[in-house]
């Protein structure tokens, strides 16, 4: 049979539609099997895993992971509830993969009748090492190993009490480990991303209670992208109040040019902490980051001389006795620059800046919206040490803008807009203050 020149395109279109329809139907299914392109793949159920939420699955999962051997591959976890009393080690080159193709969320599931973490996807119910945060992490990733597409949930954690300590949910070691598309619903400690090279953390949601992500001893560039820590699991007063007083969302110590993009946290004592350890200090490129409803949005204890660069950030501090967006300690001897950032919320001050003679803090093209919530005459920015540059910013409260003490090494405050009159007090002998305009 010969097809006409009109029938061939129609037939091809029909076949394409069937193929597309099959793909769409598959994409709507939570329980998607690994691609046929995976070099080697096994299913945890073939090693004795049950997924009933009761059976201890630790041994079955570890057998499945170890079965991949040196060649690596994928251990697939179908939809179900998997309880663990022990820890898992993901060997080099292995991927532990659940059914989610994008990070899920269970926000408000306890109070709003929405799906619970045990209702869909592959949920790991972590019960081991309660009360011992120094024990081995629940999951350890090694060189080229990956955790993807699952939910980690601590079912014995109480949602309205001081939280029980647990060890890290995930520990990343070796070279190129990755955690992708994972919900860390309510860990005490989230991700220990230290002592590795080029770790990739992407598409992570949840509510770590004590620490979110800890970075230290990184000797090659690491990447953190699209990580959002919100109180989706619980905002009940006793637990959430403890988190706001004690929690630290993102902690950076010794790292070699970390790249951090589109990250956010809500309700922590410290949103972003930059410091040092015995292995060195922090430097990196931070774009589109945010911290809301914190005691201190950004804490700078130490930084590298070549800098921490923060661009397009938004920071809100509003809790505690002295909520402040940016606090730079006397120990800082490096450089931190804020560019095109916004600061607002009923805080006491936008920034309290100290630092050694080598410390440098800069603000350029930033918006300062609220400060001095008690109307006690506090300046938006208080400078008590180091070197500071404030240029091209907009102070939107009709209150004192800047106070500079004699301990400041040098300061430049130029070409800023202020609401009302310019109110800048300076006792610094090496200051350039000019071109600032009131309305």
How high is the mean pLDDT of the chain? 90
Q: According to the CATH classification, is domain 33-205 in 3.40.50.1820?
A: no
Q: What would the mean pLDDT of 21-45 be, rounded to a whole number?
A: 56
Question: Which pLDDT score, from 0 to 100, does residue 5 have?
Answer: 43
Q: Please work out, in degrees rounded to the nearest 5, the angle formed at the alpha carbon of residue 356 by the alpha carbons of 309 and 215.
A: 45
Is it the case that residue 44 has pLDDT exceeding 50? yes
Contact status, residue 393 vs residue 419, Cβ threshold 8 Å: no
pTM as predicted: 0.90
Question: Which pLDDT score, from 0 to 100, does residue 7 have?
Answer: 44
In which band, very low, low, confident or very high, does the pLDDT at 113 lie, cut at 50, 70 and 90?
low
| CA–CA distance, 383 with 197 (Å, rounded to integer) | 37
Tell me the per-residue pLDDT of 239-271, one tens digit each, with 9 for 90 and over.
999 999 999 999 999 998 999 999 999 999 999
Tell me the per-residue pLDDT of 197-239, one tens digit each, with 9 for 90 and over.
999 999 999 999 999 999 999 988 999 999 999 999 999 999 9
Q: What would the mean pLDDT of 149-158 be, rounded to a whole number?
A: 96
Question: Which pLDDT score, from 0 to 100, does residue 407 have?
Answer: 94
Domain range summary for the chain, segments of one domain joined by +: 33-205, 247-439
Calculate what percentage of the chain has a pLDDT beyond 70: 89
Question: Which pLDDT score, from 0 to 100, does residue 4 have?
Answer: 44
For residue 27, what are the CA distances in angstroms to 13, 31, 105, 179, 314?
21, 9, 18, 21, 35
Question: Which pLDDT score, from 0 to 100, does residue 95 have?
Answer: 98
Tell me the per-residue pLDDT of 309-349, one tens digit each, with 9 for 90 and over.
999 999 999 988 899 999 999 999 999 999 999 999 999 99
Residue of 393, 399, 275, 309 whose CA lies nearest to 347: 399
| CA–CA distance, 274 with 327 (Å, rounded to integer) | 10
Is it the case that residue 41 has pLDDT exceeding 80? yes
In which band, very low, low, confident or very high, does the pLDDT at 24 lie, cut at 50, 70 and 90?
very low
SS3 58: helix
SS3 412: strand
Tell me the per-residue pLDDT of 179-189, one tens digit each, with 9 for 90 and over.
999 999 999 99
Is it the case that residue 21 has pLDDT exceeding 70? no
Question: Which pLDDT score, from 0 to 100, does residue 209 have?
Answer: 98
Question: Which pLDDT score, from 0 to 100, does residue 39 have?
Answer: 61
């Amino acid at each position: 049979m010969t097809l006409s020149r009109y029938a061939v395109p129609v037939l091809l279109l029909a076949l394409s539609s069937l193929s597309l329809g099959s793909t769409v139907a598959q994409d709507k299914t939570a329980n998607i099997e690994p691609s046929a392109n995976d070099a080697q793949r096994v299913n945890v159920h073939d090693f004795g895993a049950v997924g009933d939420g009761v059976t201890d699955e630790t041994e079955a999962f570890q057998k499945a992971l170890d079965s991949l051997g040196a060649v690596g591959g994928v251990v697939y976890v179908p939809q179900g509830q998997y309880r663990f009393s022990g820890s898992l080690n993901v060997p080099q080159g292995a991927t532990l993969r659940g059914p989610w193709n994008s990070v899920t969320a269970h926000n408000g599931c306890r109070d709003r009748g929405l799906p619970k973490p045990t209702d869909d996807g592959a949920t790991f119910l972590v019960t081991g090492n309660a009360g011992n945060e120094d024990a081995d992490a629940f999951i350890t990733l090694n060189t080229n190993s990956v955790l993807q597409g699952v939910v980690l949930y601590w079912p014995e954690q109480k949602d309205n009490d001081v939280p029980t300590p647990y060890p890290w949910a995930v520990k990343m070691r070796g070279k190129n480990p990755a955690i992708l598309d994972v919900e860390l619903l309510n860990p005490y400690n989230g991700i220990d991303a230290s002592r590795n090279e080029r770790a990739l953390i992407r598409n992570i949601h949840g509510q770590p209670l004590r620490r979110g992500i800890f970075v230290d001893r990184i000797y090659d560039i690491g990447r953190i992208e699209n990580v959002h820590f919100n109180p989706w699991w619980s905002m009940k007063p006793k637990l959430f109040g403890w988190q706001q007083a004690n929690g630290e969302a993102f902690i950076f110590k010794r790292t070699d040019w970390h790249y951090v993009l589109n990250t956010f946290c809500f309700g922590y004592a410290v949103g972003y902490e930059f410091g040092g350890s015995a292995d060195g200090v922090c430097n990196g490129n931070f774009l589109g980051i945010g911290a809301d409803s914190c005691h201190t949005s950004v804490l700078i204890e130490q930084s590298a001389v070549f800098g921490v660069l923060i661009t397009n950030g938004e920071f809100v501090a509003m809790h505690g006795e002295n909520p402040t967006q940016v606090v730079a300690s006397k120990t800082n001897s490096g450089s931190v620059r804020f560019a095109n950032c916004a600061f607002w919320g009923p805080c006491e001050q936008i920034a309290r800046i100290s630092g050694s003679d080598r410390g440098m803090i800069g603000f350029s093209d930033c918006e300062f919206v609220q400060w001095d919530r008690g109307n006690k005459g506090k300046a938006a920015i208080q400078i008590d040490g180091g070197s500071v540059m404030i240029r091209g910013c907009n102070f939107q409260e009709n209150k004192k803008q800047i106070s500079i003490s004699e301990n400041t090494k040098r300061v430049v405050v130029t070409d800023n807009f202020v609401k009302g009159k310019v109110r800048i007090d300076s006792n610094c002998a090496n200051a350039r203050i000019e071109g600032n305009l009131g309305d």
